[in-house]
Structure 1
Amino acid sequence: MDSNMSIYSTLFILEAVDISPTYILPLFFFGTLTYCAIMFFNITLLLTIALNQKLHKPMYILLFNMPVNDMVGASALLPHMMSTLLSQNRSITHSACCLQAFLIHFYGTGSLLILGAMAYDRYIAICCPLKYNTVMSPNKLLKIILTVWTTDAAVVGSILALNYRQEFCTTSIADTFCNNPSLMKLICGDTRLNNYYGLSTTILLNCLVLFIIFFTYIHILVTCVSKRQSDAKTKAIQTCGTHLVIYLCFVFSALFALISHRFDNVSRYVRGLFGASVMIFPPFLNPIIYGLKTKEIQQNIQVFFCKRYFNHNK
């Protein structure tokens, strides 16, 4: 590519997916339906928390951030992917590619930080109940939420900023969507700094959140077992176990998708499948696991829809 060509007018070409024309329309409708379901579940959870004064507690306010983040992740991938699938136009502008990469990584990093904040909240509530109102006061809760989002934006922004204004030797992106590893492969110059910084930041962040989650969950389980309350013990094991499985599945899929770019022998289909699954399955399952299965939220959702139904039929 001509090095004098403006990066802003550059069109990148996303990797093709070998799909028979027979399956294009069914996949398009299935993907669109999946996206609509993700948006419906997450918006329902958002409205339920926002419109019910009883749910304006630290646990649910922290939970409020998860559907917002999940909708960002799903919206960064599915609408463009469905449009590409239907039109078979795999080109994307430099600006759109960078925006998609930012939103995708912003979603992934945000998921980890929000899970860490939620684990900390449950730890204080169960292990230090007398200090809960002090530790999780409105001001401190606001600081936690601001720290999550500012850290998320700063980490992702700094990683992608290293690719900014670089010369590209090719326009063929080695993935079905834009992300930092695929953008690095386009750069002509030395990308070792980008590589080392991105990997070290990813590993450090994952280790920090993993430590917080394991530390808090172990203390929660020990506290519940020591109380010798079978219902509390069962509830803690179910809650912590479910959250931990979801977290580990998310981290494994995300890390595999990121690290697999460093190895040429990894199938591009497997890499693409793991990468896309990170932005499809958690946004679909999170509102069910973290919200809709919570009894207090369930009751408020039923009240919310019953009111709308009766008001409509008056």
Structure 2
Amino acid sequence: MENLTYNSFTLQLEGLKVTEESMYPIFFFLFFSYLFIMVANVGILFLVYVDKHLHQPMYLLFCNLPISDIIGSSDILPRIMLDTLRPPSERLISYYECVVQAFTTNMFGTTSHTILMIMAFDRYVAICNPLRYATIMTNRTVIKLTTWAWGSAFVLVAILLGLTVRLNRCRTLITNPYCDNASLFKLSCESVLINNIYGLTFTVVLFVASIGSIFLTYTKITVVCVTSKNKSLNSKALRTCSTHLLVYVTMLFTGIVGIALHRFPQYSEYRKFSLVMFHIIPGSLNPIIYGVQSKEIRRFWSRVVEPKKMLSSL
């Protein structure tokens, strides 16, 4: 018979399955991944802040992405690192801390979509309406798009978690490496039909809006590039759009793998690994992809590095 504990404020995280041999390799992999994410994303934000050439709508909107990646990785990776060094019985977390972690985790997943949607709109305006770009993408528009990306995600996730915290809990084991909404409402012995309906609707609407807007945007961009036969325009479109699309596909693929594996309990360890990688792979690749592809960012680094080379040669 299942041992039930009602409304306990101390929960236990199942965490990753680690052995004595794999404990430290996993810890250092997570540590260096987190360190790279923080340095790379903070570095991108710093570059955009100090270089006035990067004070453009494209880069100001892109700044939302490293902020989201920093929040998403800082929310779970330090905790998972510590838990890999603890025995399973000591991986405890308070209920309130778990709720905050679940809210932040779901915010990260949602804003990953909404931010890339507003960035796609920016690319659409820049390529399909280049003469009107300056009048459309004003500072006010950038602020409105940014507010929409974070505000819509906040409202959707707040409702999602609000439906969960209303439930009474009769279990204490979180069968995940970290807290999220699904693992929280699974602690309840009450009916979670409303949670499942809203959660499914929320996921479907988010994915349809995200994939639909990206598909529509890039279809229009492709049509403009094919019909214009402007080499300069096509080169710009290929450079900026391939970067954005690669970031989107990376985020979408890592997210779908984690969601799909929820349906296969026999692959629970693969599911937990994929959920952790969802917070590592996009956050690590995004600054690399934009840093390599962006002519302006490469130009900034060349201005920084060249004087140092000249001084070292003297």
* TM-score normalised by structure 1 residue count: 0.90
AA aligned opposite 2:111: G
Task: Name the Cα RMSD after superposition.
Answer: 2.3
AA aligned opposite 1:115: L
AA aligned opposite 2:206: L
Conservation of the 8 A alpha-carbon contact between 1:106 and 1:153: yes
| Mapping of residues 195-234 of structure 1, within 5 Å | 195-230=196-231, 232-233=233-234
Distance apart, 1:109 and its partner CA: 0.6
Greater CA drift, 12-21 or 118-127: 12-21
Task: Name the residue aligned to 2:286.
Answer: 286
Task: Name the residue aligned to 1:79.
Answer: 78
**Residue aligned with 2:165, SS:** coil
* Alignment deviations for residues 194-225 of structure 1 (CA, whole Å, 9 cap, x no partner): 11101101110111121111111121122222
Distance apart, 1:285 and its partner CA: 0.2
Distance apart, 1:149 and its partner CA: 0.9
Task: Name the residue aligned to 2:237.
Answer: 236
Conservation of the 8 A alpha-carbon contact between 1:181 and 1:258: no
* Alignment deviations for residues 115-163 of structure 1 (CA, whole Å, 9 cap, x no partner): 0000000100110112211211111211111111111111111101111
Task: Name the residue aligned to 1:27.
Answer: 26
AA aligned opposite 2:198: Y
Matched, 1:54 2:53: yes
Greater CA drift, 17-26 or 39-48: 17-26
Task: Name the residue aligned to 2:155.
Answer: 154
How many residue pairs get aligned? The number is 307
Conservation of the 8 A alpha-carbon contact between 1:14 and 1:175: yes
Taking only the aligned residue pairs, the percentage that are identical comes to 34
Conservation of the 8 A alpha-carbon contact between 2:30 and 2:81: yes
Matched, 1:99 2:105: no
Distance change in 2, residues 1:96/1:304 (3 Å)? farther
AA aligned opposite 2:192: T
Task: Name the residue aligned to 1:271.
Answer: 271
| Mapping of residues 170-209 of structure 1, within 5 Å | 170-209=171-210
Task: Name the residue aligned to 2:40.
Answer: 41
Task: Name the residue aligned to 1:169.
Answer: 170
Task: Name the residue aligned to 2:295.
Answer: 295
Distance change in 2, residues 1:267/1:102 (3 Å)? same
Distance change in 2, residues 1:45/1:305 (3 Å)? farther
* TM-score normalised by structure 2 residue count: 0.90
| Mapping of residues 7-22 of structure 1, within 5 Å | 7=8, 10-22=9-21
Query: 2: distance between equivalents of 1:266 and 1:91?
Result: 24
Matched, 1:112 2:113: yes
**Residue aligned with 2:159, SS:** helix
**Residue aligned with 1:112, SS:** helix
Query: 1: distance between equivalents of 2:307 and 2:215?
Result: 41
AA aligned opposite 1:189: E
Query: 1: distance between equivalents of 2:170 and 2:25?
Result: 36
Conservation of the 8 A alpha-carbon contact between 2:120 and 2:244: no
Distance apart, 1:242 and its partner CA: 4.7
Query: 2: distance between equivalents of 1:83 and 1:308?
Result: 39
**Residue aligned with 1:287, SS:** helix
Conservation of the 8 A alpha-carbon contact between 2:261 and 2:270: no
Greater CA drift, 85-94 or 296-305: 296-305
